[in-house]
Amino acid sequence: MKIIKNIPELLAHNLIEASEIAQIEAVAHEHSIAITPEIMNSIKVFDNSDPIFAQYVPQKEELETSQYEFFDPIADVAHSPLNGLVHRYKSRALLKLTNACPAYCRFCFRREMVGRENAKILSDLEIDAIIQYLKEHKEINEVIFSGGDSLAIGHLRLGKIAKAIGQIANVKILRIHSRVPIIMPQIIDNELVSALKEANLPIFMVLHINHYNEFTQNVKNAINILKQNGITLLSQSVLLRGVNDDAQILADTFNALLENGIKPYYLHHPDLARGTGHFQLNPIEGMEIFSQLRTLISGLGLPKYVLDIPGGFGKVELNNENLRQKPDGHFEIKDVNFNWHQYPNIRL
């Protein structure tokens, strides 16, 4: 089976109905589609009730947008001094080595920036400019590979970039955020790990996993390769309506992570990307679920429940100190500098 990328292939694999073609074509015109064989193997029910199906198969609800949804919800662009580089936090910088992914999540906060004509790998000149920036900004001690998905750019290219990063005196840590071990685990091998080790730095990999059904045997094999090569594994999950907005599902997911040697790190409140309203919860709903989760799982399995404040004001943990509801039903959220920002109640 090959990667499913278009409407005829969706139809042929019974992922959409013939009656939905016009609407899904409109969705595909705006946002890229890609579903890998591993994702197909994880789907148990071929409709939106399945937590894997819902994450990857385009849905007509993506055509619905509101005034509260944004092209760039966490303001990557405003914090990008160079193409492919985001410098939002003082001590760390994020590199978007590519704007392509092997599969496209329907809730992605960078869905306007990945896929299609944007699908490319940074050039040598762009990488050289980023390396120079990192050398000049000596306050940066951690580099994060994100994207798109950096693990899909090819071993030789990845190794070359990792080596260049490792030669910057002020950079002490390499962090990689990736979905590849989950959606295309067969490319996780010793050759890929060797490419990453060209950095000669401690490597932390944050795997994006939202539901325990994503742990296929192939995924477990990929995770074992990473562990056996000394890479520290953490996870990030997104709290999604209809996918994992249930304390017991989250508990089972985080326990599965621990059983596979992965420390739950972040539970993200979903970002306000265009066309993702059907995945959204309001912060009060999320905090109630997280409170229930605390009674079901040990502290070792409990991630930080965070929200990325729209406009580029950074992540904050969602709790009663940082969140308050206004008389009109909407919210205010306090950033790390103690400033309050408006946040919509999308369930009104």
108 is catalytic: yes
Q: What is the pLDDT of residue 118?
A: 61
pLDDT at residue 113 tops 80: no
**Residue 144: phi, psi to the nearest 5?**
-115, 125
89 is catalytic: yes
Active site (annotated) includes residue 347: no
The pLDDT value given to residue 116:
66
- Annotation says 92 is catalytic: yes
Active-site residue, 271 included:
yes
Q: Map 118-140 to HEC letters.
A: HCCECCHHHHHHHHHHHHHCCCC
Q: What is the pLDDT of residues 50-77, one digit of tens each?
A: 999 999 999 999 999 888 888 887 878 8
Given the residues 5, 60, 92, 172, select the one marked as catalytic: 92
Active site residue 128: no
| Strand arrangement of the beta sheet that strand 340-343 belongs to | 323-325, 331-334, 340-343
Which of 50, 72, 104, 105 is catalytic? The answer is 105
- pLDDT band of residue 263 (cuts 50, 70, 90) is very high
Kindly compute the dihedral angle of the four CA atoms of residues 92, 205, 272, 104, in this order, to the nearest 10 degrees.
130
* Tokens found for residue 197: 């080790």
**Scanning the structure block, which residue is given the tokens 């994702």?**
39
Question: pLDDT band at 255, cuts 50/70/90?
Answer: very high
Of the residues 50, 72, 76, 308, which is catalytic? Answer: 308
In the set 68, 104, 106, 108, the catalytic residue is: 108
Q: Given a cut of 80, is residue 192 above it in pLDDT? A: yes
Residue 318 has pLDDT above 70, yes or no: yes
Q: Which of 68, 101, 175, 305 is catalytic?
A: 101
**Cβ atoms within 10 Å, residue 138:** 11
Q: What is the pTM of this model?
A: 0.94
From the CA atom positions of the chain, what is the Rg in Å? 20
CATH number of the structural domain 67-343:
3.20.20.70
Mean pLDDT of 159-176: 98
Residue tagged active-site, from 50, 72, 149, 271: 271
Confidence grade of residue 348 (pLDDT, cut at 50, 70, 90): confident
Question: pLDDT by residue (tens digit) across 196-235?
Answer: 999 999 999 999 999 999 999 999 999 999 999 999 999 9
Q: Cα separation of 116 and 97, whole Å?
A: 16
Q: Residue 254's pLDDT is what?
A: 98
CA dist 133 to 33, 82, 95, 126, Å?
34, 9, 12, 11
Parallel, antiparallel or unpaired: strands 203-208 and 85-89: unpaired
Catalytic option among 96, 241, 274, 315: 315
pLDDT at 119 > cutoff 90: no
Strands 331-334 and 323-325: antiparallel
Gap between the Cα atoms of 272 and 170, Å rounded: 34
Q: Pick the closest to residue 178 from 233, 225, 224, 216 (CA basis).
A: 233
246 is catalytic: no
Q: What is the pLDDT of residues 12-46, one digit of tens each?
A: 999 999 999 999 999 999 899 999 999 999 999 99
Mean pLDDT of 256-274: 96
Q: DSSP letter string over 275-328?
A: T-GGG---HHHHHHHHHHHHTTS-GGG--EEEEE-TTT--EEE-STTTEEE-TT
Answer yes or no: 116 catalytic. no
Which H or E element spans position 267?
A: strand 263-268
